[in-house]
Structure 1
Amino acid sequence: MMINPRNALNFSGGPGALAQSVLQQVQEAIQEAPGAGLSILGVSHRSDWFAAVVAEAEANVRMLLGLPADYRILFLQGGATQQFSMVPMSLLSGSTLAADYLHTGYWSGKALPEARREGPVRTVWSGADCGFARLPTDAELDFAADAPYLHYVSNETVEGLQFDRVLGRDDVPRICDMSSDFLSAPGDYERFALIYAHAQKNLGPAGVTVVAVKEALMAGMQRDLPGFLDYRAQADAHSIYNTPPVFAIYVVMLVTRWLRDDIGGLAAMDAINRKKAALLYRALDDSDGFYRGRAARADRSRMNVAFNLPDAATERAFLQQAEAAGFSGLAGHRSVGGVRASLYNGLEIEAAAKLVEFMEGFRLQWR
């Protein structure tokens, strides 16, 4: 079976590109998953075979993040959007104390109203006044010592902003939406009480959300939640509380196996991601203002390079010619427009180099 070459030039903000070797294994598994004797689309979620898939995926995520055994790894449904509600339902409902939230872009903004449904929320900092063009400095942040938790987004996919440090106080649980930079680099992940990430950026297809949650945090959660929305019930069932997205979890297992064995871990993945981002940002910085990055240089994302061209007509021409040249997913998010090149783990350095070559050719042609 042949792999569509356009898959290698998928710069979409999500679902993102998958490694070619993973795509090949997925193709084969659709016919017959190794050891299962069936298509992955027909494997029972109650089978021993699938239980082994979940166990390996859990172990791979824990190992890659360097988390100890007191973290549970869950594979849930509902995307990051469900986590916007599930977190405050579990930790904020009934509280008289405000949870701390950062409003650094489009997706962190989506989390705020869901949290306010459950209890008081304090917006520690908002980038609305600067059009979400930068992230806060430490001097601009004043975290509450009595907050039930701190919530922030590590990488804003729409605006192309990424934190390069861990925020907050060590005596307040950190909750982080890492959907678009999960497993892209090493970090101090033990400093977080709960991390969540939907799959369709760095992990696989849409349909599954990975959660890493500390057992001590779960012990203090609300007790009257529906089972499907209770982290403890999901942990007790090893993510098979109901019929889970078997296919999506299987692909997550393949991706984490690829990161572990083929890439060699998160430090090696980070080195690759930095090279891709450096290529794109150099193209922006060396374009004499033709390509205009949206994010402040100090806060630039290695996952999402968001930029504009001189005017809307030029941007339309750029996107049309890029599509004709085989590049996919370069249109900016509908809320801001422009152009966005997403450089998730599955995208190879060669793809980034080809895009830079196209960008230079377009710039010279247009001028």
Structure 2
Amino acid sequence: MFAKGQTIIQLIEQLAPKYLAVEGDRIGLQVGTLQKEIKKVMLTLDVLENVVDEAIEQQIDFIISHHASIYRPLKHLRTDLPQGRIYQKLLKHDIAVYTAHTNLDVALGGVNDALAKRIGIQATEFLQEVYQQKLKKIVVYVPESHQQVVLDALYANGAGWIGNYSHCSFTSSGIGTFMPREGTNPYIGQQGKLERVNEVRIETIIPEEKQNQAIKAMIKAHPYEEVAYDIYPLDIEGKAYGIGRVGVLEQELTLKEFALQVKRQLELDGARVIGDFTQKIRKVAIVGGDGNSFVPTAAFKGVDVLITGDIYYHVAHEAMAEGLAIIDVGHNVEKWVLPELKAYLEQAFKERNIMTEVYESKTDTNPFQFI
């Protein structure tokens, strides 16, 4: 079978949930519909006209991009202009476009982890934390006969995780009382008769963003018409997410040695380097895309070199004053997330017996050349 667009997006959002995105970021479905069968999906960094032409040639049904095709509000849709032609071609050939941007930057296994892996840095911390999970406790009362089925429903929908431990819960036994009234159809008992039932109190933990789906699954699995349950907010911290990665090199290198190594590993034609070439490098930070706003954070964290892109002239001066070296590898290096995303989707499709093909765009969308 082939996947529906909605199924593919559910898989993408398991890796890079929307709540990780920066507020106001243009993510999600931008063109077309998810309610169709997808035989072939394309992964690309940018949705340019030549990328769309490639998609048409490859008979693509669905494009997943990192950068939004519609970033600023459209004032018109003129097909005699380059931007309008893109949407005309997409709509004419029924190609949907979905964007995962800053949520994919932040995600574990996303852009910054892909870059750290490519460069060979073992990331030990985030450059800047951007999201902290809020946790809730779910308490539900269930007859002994349905204890495990209700627990399984909760576990299957994100409950029961504490750190790297899954299936975490606590149960205690007691007596539940209730009297079914007129209009009820009780699983246990009779209308007008007080019932006393051996029940189990189940307690488990759930991230706030998965609370609603877990409750729906729990109620569906529960045998009672009216389910008695409580939700408690918790002050303990859940999983943290951050943008950028920080790690330490196995062996100290000079800035020049390390810059040349990064150039090879990212297959660059060239890179801009800020700092003293003889400076010793051990602690490294990396953030894909435009990294200007992360220079103060990298300096504060005692980083020797920041690998990023699009560094401004005056920001470079500020970094030099702080003693922070920078290797400006450009924005296009974010493309290295595409092979990782391809492998992730192919494995997910294989596990679900989905025949949808995953195709990585061959079009070079880097606008810069070195001479």
Give the TM-score category using the shorter length. Answer: under 0.3
Which of the pair has the greater relative contact order for Cα pairs under 8 Å at 6+ separation?
Answer: 1
Looking at CA atoms only, which structure, 1 or 2, has the larger radius of gyration? 2
Question: What TM-score do you get using the length of structure 2 for normalisation?
Answer: 0.22
Higher helix share: 1
Question: What TM-score do you get using the length of structure 1 for normalisation?
Answer: 0.22
